[in-house]
Structure 1
Amino acid sequence: MKKDHGTTSPPNKQNRREPIRSRPMHRGKTEPGPQALAAIFESCGIALTQRQIDQLWLYHTLLRRHNTELNLTRIHNFANMVLKLYVDSVLPAQLTRLPSPLMDLGTGPGMPGIPLKILHPELTLRLAEGRGKRVAFLHEVLASLELEGLDIIERAITPTFDEPVNGVITRAVETMDQTLMRIDNCLSEKGRVIFMKGPGCDPEIAEALQRFDRRYTLIEDRAYRIGDTRHERRLVVFERLDAPPRAIAATAARRHPVQIVTSEQNSRFKGLKKLLTGRGVKKAGQALLAGARPVAEMITAFPERCLAWISNGSQNPPNENTPATMHWLQLAEPLFQTLDIFGTHAPLLLIEVADMTPWSPEEEFPEGCSLLVPFQDPENIGAIIRSAAAFDVNQVILLAESAHPYHPKALRAAGGVTPKVRLRQGPSLKNLPEHLPIVALSAEGRSIDTASLPKRFGLLAGLEGEGLPARWRERSLCIPISKKVESLNAATATAIALYEWRRRQSVT
């Protein structure tokens, strides 16, 4: 029989609406036997060699022998078994090009893989099956048929499976998008996924294309019938456009020095764990940045300050945009979870903390607003840094009482803008001279609505809970609020004051 491995024509509406028909077969009762099996194949336009007849008959015999015990198939009629199991298994080779090595995902008793291998011995095939009794059956079949270039993957295929294949074929009942996710780490770039489906699979195709947009493309969609039966089938073929994570990881490992950390006693991990506190950040001059967007923005804007990519084994590796000077720390899952305090489940970035130049009260404030911050809550620090960036504050002067701006919680609340804001280190709140042009915020002050704001000034917020010292409260401004509420959060009140200042700037 001539084997056709050529690429089929592009899918079109005619392919879907008018199923391909094989040559008619004779109806009537068919007595089981090797020649009867060959005749059914012949009626479907497939001529078998004597060796192929013998191998298919032996496979059929083994399938019938073990079916009662293992429930390998619910089809028992001989002609239906040949048509719906064996012929249907090999028809994809007539409809599309089969890549090699090809994995038969969820092969069960070996279909379509074993019939395909019998008719196309040049293919390298891998049968993926996780159920122990069926695996034992497959081993018996392989030993009996003496097929070379065919092996068994004795496990369920999950996204962690990373042994490379160029194609996947499946008759499994799960949806297409579930299969595409399952083979994410093993299917090669430009690899093909061949789905043997029933006629009503259009919703599955649409869902897969939407979920995997730009990662897969539909290259074939062909309707066909088995023999002259009314059994309609669809052959749907996707092609992968991107590289699998294992390939990306291999490329990244060639670009970045890799360190694998599995023990919590590891000195590198202990150092990273200390960065969960402001004291640790200050001492090391390094910080942990979390969140996919802040990490990506940091790499783009400040690559020279990016020190290491931190991930567990299943997360994305550093991409080609990351600086080659970065290290790649691969942490055991429990260790990564210790550092991923926000549960982002995304890689972390170890960054260098920028030096904060000291600010002295002897300096004049530049034109505009300088923000003086004594907040002790890292989340409030992050929130006010974000507001400072939003309203174009000239500088943020962190008083001695304040939490570290690169504390993980502060970085998280700042939404990735901390490196973009000019941060200064100031004195203690109690040491601020009263002669400075400072606008202080306090719940006891007069309304900011009626107050004028200097051309250049420092906006001073009070400590959380304690508020401002008495000497600053006496000449402070407040944000008018309902009497139902005693006071606003310090970071919130400061953000509103900054908005009011910026609003007045735009009016003038």
Structure 2
Amino acid sequence: MSGDFWRLIESPQNANAKRWSDLHDGRGIRKHGEFLLAGRKAVPEALRLYPDRFKAMLACDPADAADLDLLSGIDRFRLSRALFDSLDISGTNFPLLVGKAPPLPSADLAAAPRGLELVCALGDPSNLGALFRSAAAFGVSRVILLEEAAHPFHPRTLRAAANAQFELELLRGPSWKEIGDVAGPLVALDGRGEDMASFAWPRDIRLVLGEEGLGIPSDFKARRLAIPTTGAVESLNATVAASLALYAYYLSAR
């Protein structure tokens, strides 16, 4: 299937439709090695900058894709309105891209870091996507996702990341229970840690970000940094705190 041919699919029982429906959570993404990308800005940008990452386009009306630059190798599927709406969970009413999501390479945490490496356990997909945007903006060399983290190609992660995930080297890490010793320099964000404002950032370092609400396990060995605030709120959102730390590193490295 290539060129301008659009294959019509109307039934949710179609094998392709069932597979795409599975891509709304991490389990389905891992099973099929695919993801769905949505967004009136994200889809055209991704086609322009990362065309080799996609294998198919899904549209309710092919006319909606008339201005998109589709490679000949991208399959085209025209879906019934009901089927398309069931896949377009963000309600964009714009063509969706089916991307290739290969397994993530395993990180070697026993090896010294190179540049700024982010070790992350954020479980909320939207928070993870927002973190990807900050990571790409402030020069993170690698993002190491612990098992507790959301899937990097979850639809809500992709929505919040706005294609930043394609600019990052993503690696798979262990769970907290299996993490063992991690080569440093190693710092973790902790509201009870030392003032981050006085911390001298080395060029090669790992920054560890825990789960929302749970933070870093008490027995995890890392230098703890706290972001000074007025104290008007109990704590910062994990993504906001991480972004401030990434910005501090970025300033120190310039």
Report the alpha carbon displacement of residue 452 of structure 1 after superposing the two structures with TM.
2.0
Alignment partner of 2:192 out of 441, 444, 457 = 444
Aligned to 2:155: 408
Distance, in Å, in 1 between the alignment partners of 2:112 and 2:223 is 20
Larger relative contact order (CA 8 Å, sep ≥ 6): 2
Alignment partner of 1:375 out of 106, 122, 126 = 122
Cα deviation per residue 1:393-422 (whole Å; 9 max; x = unaligned)?
111111111111000000000011211211
Partner-residue secondary structure (3-state), 1:370: strand
Report the alpha carbon displacement of residue 445 of structure 1 after superposing the two structures with TM.
1.1
Partner-residue secondary structure (3-state), 1:480: coil
Partner-residue secondary structure (3-state), 1:356: coil
User: What is the TM-score normalised by the length of structure 2?
Assistant: 0.93
Cα deviation per residue 1:108-138 (whole Å; 9 max; x = unaligned)?
xxxxxxxxxxxxxxxxxxxxxxxxxxxxxxx
Alignment partner of 1:346 out of 89, 94, 97 = 94
User: Is residue 321 of structure 1 aligned with residue 79 of structure 2?
Assistant: no
- Give yes or no for contact 2:109–2:183 (8 Å, CA) kept in 1: no
Q: Which moved more, 1:426-435 or 1:454-463?
A: 426-435
Aligned to 2:48: 300
Aligned to 2:36: 288
Whichever residue aligns with residue 492 of structure 1, its letter is: V
Aligned to 2:84: 336
User: Is residue 269 of structure 1 aligned with residue 17 of structure 2?
Assistant: yes
Distance, in Å, in 1 between the alignment partners of 2:55 and 2:151 is 19
Cα deviation per residue 1:122-179 (whole Å; 9 max; x = unaligned)?
xxxxxxxxxxxxxxxxxxxxxxxxxxxxxxxxxxxxxxxxxxxxxxxxxxxxxxxxxx
Distance, in Å, in 1 between the alignment partners of 2:83 and 2:7 is 14
Aligned to 1:463: 211
Partner-residue secondary structure (3-state), 2:55: strand
**C-alpha RMSD over aligned residues:** 1.9
Distance, in Å, in 1 between the alignment partners of 2:66 and 2:151 is 28
Alignment partner of 2:174 out of 427, 434, 443 = 427
Alignment partner of 1:309 out of 53, 57, 81 = 57
Aligned to 1:494: 242
Report the alpha carbon displacement of residue 451 of structure 1 after superposing the two structures with TM.
1.8
Unmatched 5+ stretches in structure 1: 1-252
Aligned to 1:505: 253
User: What is the TM-score normalised by the length of structure 1?
Assistant: 0.48
Runs of 4+ in 1 over 3 A off after TM superposition: 472-475
Report the alpha carbon displacement of residue 497 of structure 1 after superposing the two structures with TM.
0.3
Whichever residue aligns with residue 232 of structure 2, its letter is: K
Distance, in Å, in 2 between the alignment partners of 1:274 and 1:315 is 26
- Give yes or no for contact 1:289–1:349 (8 Å, CA) kept in 2: yes
Distance, in Å, in 1 between the alignment partners of 2:230 and 2:107 is 37
Cα deviation per residue 1:88-124 (whole Å; 9 max; x = unaligned)?
xxxxxxxxxxxxxxxxxxxxxxxxxxxxxxxxxxxxx
User: Is residue 384 of structure 1 aligned with residue 131 of structure 2?
Assistant: yes
- Give yes or no for contact 1:442–1:462 (8 Å, CA) kept in 2: no
Partner-residue secondary structure (3-state), 1:471: coil
Report the alpha carbon displacement of residue 356 of structure 1 after superposing the two structures with TM.
2.1
1:153-302 equivalent positions in 2, closer than 5 A = 255-302=3-50
Partner-residue secondary structure (3-state), 2:20: helix
The alignment covers a number of residue pairs equal to 253
Cα deviation per residue 1:2-47 (whole Å; 9 max; x = unaligned)?
xxxxxxxxxxxxxxxxxxxxxxxxxxxxxxxxxxxxxxxxxxxxxx
Judged with a 3 Å threshold, the aligned counterparts in structure 2 of structure 1 residues 474 and 295 are, in CA distance, closer, same or farther, namely closer
Cα deviation per residue 1:420-458 (whole Å; 9 max; x = unaligned)?
211111122331415532110011111101122223110
Distance, in Å, in 2 between the alignment partners of 1:392 and 1:474 is 22
1:27-42 equivalent positions in 2, closer than 5 A = none
Report the alpha carbon displacement of residue 261 of structure 1 after superposing the two structures with TM.
1.2
Aligned to 1:475: 223
Report the alpha carbon displacement of residue 313 of structure 1 after superposing the two structures with TM.
2.6
Distance, in Å, in 1 between the alignment partners of 2:53 and 2:204 is 32
Aligned to 1:130: none
- Give yes or no for contact 1:444–1:473 (8 Å, CA) kept in 2: no
Judged with a 3 Å threshold, the aligned counterparts in structure 2 of structure 1 residues 314 and 258 are, in CA distance, closer, same or farther, namely closer
Distance, in Å, in 1 between the alignment partners of 2:166 and 2:103 is 11
- Give yes or no for contact 1:257–1:326 (8 Å, CA) kept in 2: no
Name the % identity. Answer: 35
Report the alpha carbon displacement of residue 364 of structure 1 after superposing the two structures with TM.
1.7
- Give yes or no for contact 1:445–1:473 (8 Å, CA) kept in 2: no
